């Protein structure tokens, strides 16, 4: 199955109006065969979406559409602001805000209800990897977070080992290939061959221009979810280029 490469950025709690100039340079360097998108802080979605030549997304959304949830934003809100997609279940939400697999599933399903794409994140801790539990932990996360109606037309899964995020400690190509194969097998078992094969699997965790060529052409790797190196065009554009078939 041919899946288009997908290079997504995640600005996390970084950026401001001045930083949106980076989007212009990124937009000028798009490649016909590579999908590009960037998730930005909620306050920047509207100006970023108005400016960018590629999809802009939210970094998180609530699973409900409205209500007494102080500080949260809903899918209809980010959609109105111009978001085309949202990240859900990032480890910084799961760990820092106690989000469960059930929460993540609800967030992804909220995206689908309103026609947004979703990038669903999973990943193990260093302790879990050291204990030999990484594949069991991650495939269990995938299956418990998987939204109803999962499909490759709107959902991607990002494998982001927690120990590789923001640490400069990138997973080896062999580790990523083994994990993506395990996730793929779990998806095919849960969703059937056609749907299970259609969902793109991204790797995230200290992706840089230097390691992107190896990672982006590894087996079952359909793209990358890039944190720090998505903040500037100078660092992000070479990663887009590395994804060209």
Q: Which residues are catalytic?
A: 90, 160
Of all residues in this chain, which one has the CB nearest to ligand 13P in the complex? 227
Query: Which has the closest alpha carbon to 85: 112, 52, 47, 125?
Result: 112
User: How many residues interact with ligand 13P (rule CB under 6 A)?
Assistant: 14
How many other C-beta atoms can be found within 10 angstroms of the C-beta atom of residue 189?
Answer: 12
- Is residue 79 within 8 Å of residue 115, measured between CB atoms? yes
Q: Out of 10, 128, 139, 211, which residue is the one contacting ligand 13P (CB under 6 A)?
A: 10
Q: What angle do CA 98, 100, 102 make, to 5 degrees?
A: 150
In angstroms, the CA 73 to CA 65 distance is: 8
- Is residue 182 within 8 Å of residue 204, measured between CB atoms? no
Residues 59-118, interacting with ligand 13P (CB under 6 A): 90
Is 204 a residue that touches ligand 13P (CB under 6 A)? yes
Query: Using CB under 6 A, which of the segments 50-58, 143-151, 179-187, 204-212 binds ligand 13P?
Result: 204-212
* Closest separation in Å from C-beta 192 to ligand 13P: 28
Q: Closer to ligand 13P at the Cβ: 196 or 230?
A: 230
In angstroms, the CA 185 to CA 181 distance is: 6
Query: Using CB under 6 A, which of the segments 75-83, 97-105, 143-151, 198-206 binds ligand 13P?
Result: 198-206
Q: Out of 124, 205, 222, 233, which residue is the one contacting ligand 13P (CB under 6 A)?
A: 205
Q: Out of 81, 138, 176, 226, which residue is the one contacting ligand 13P (CB under 6 A)?
A: 226
Overall residue count recorded for the chain in this entry = 245
Residues 118-177, interacting with ligand 13P (CB under 6 A): 160, 165-166
Query: Using CB under 6 A, which of the segments 104-112, 127-135, 194-202, 205-213 binds ligand 13P?
Result: 205-213
Token pair for 86: 């949202």
In angstroms, the Cα distances linking 16 to 58, 191, 219, 225, 231 are: 15, 40, 36, 20, 11
> What interhelical angle do 101-113 and 134-145 show, nearest 10?
40
Query: Using CB under 6 A, which of the segments 16-24, 103-111, 180-188, 203-211 binds ligand 13P?
Result: 203-211
Provide the binding-site residues for ligand 13P, judged by CB under 6 A: 10, 90, 160, 165-166, 204-207, 225-229
């Amino acid at each position: 199955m041919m899946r288009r490469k997908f290079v997504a950025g995640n600005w996390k709690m970084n950026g401001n109006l001045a930083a949106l100039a980076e989007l212009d340079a990124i937009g000028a360097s798009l490649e016909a065969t590579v999908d590009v998108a960037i998730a930005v802080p909620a306050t920047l979605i509207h100006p970023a979406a108005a400016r960018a030549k590629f999809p802009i997304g939210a970094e998180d959304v609530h699973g409900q559409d409205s209500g007494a949830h102080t500080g949260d934003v809903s899918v209809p809100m980010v959609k109105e602001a111009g978001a085309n997609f949202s990240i859900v279940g990032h480890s910084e939400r799961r760990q820092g805000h106690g989000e469960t697999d059930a929460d993540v599933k609800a967030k992804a399903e909220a995206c689908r209800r309103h026609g947004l794409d979703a990038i669903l994140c999973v990943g193990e801790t260093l302790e879990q990897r050291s204990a030999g539990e990484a594949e069991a932990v991650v495939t269990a996360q995938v299956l418990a977070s998987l939204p109803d109606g999962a499909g490759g037309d709107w959902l991607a899964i990002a494998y982001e080992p927690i120990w590789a995020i923001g640490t400069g400690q990138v997973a080896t190509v062999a580790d990523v290939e083994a994990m993506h194969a395990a996730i793929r097998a779990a998806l095919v078992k849960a969703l059937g061959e056609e749907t299970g094969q259609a969902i793109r699997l991204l790797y995230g965790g200290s992706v840089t221009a230097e390691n992107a060529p190896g990672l982006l052409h590894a087996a079952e790797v359909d793209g990358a979810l890039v944190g720090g190196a998505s903040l500037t065009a100078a660092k992000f554009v070479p990663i887009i280029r590395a994804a060209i078939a």
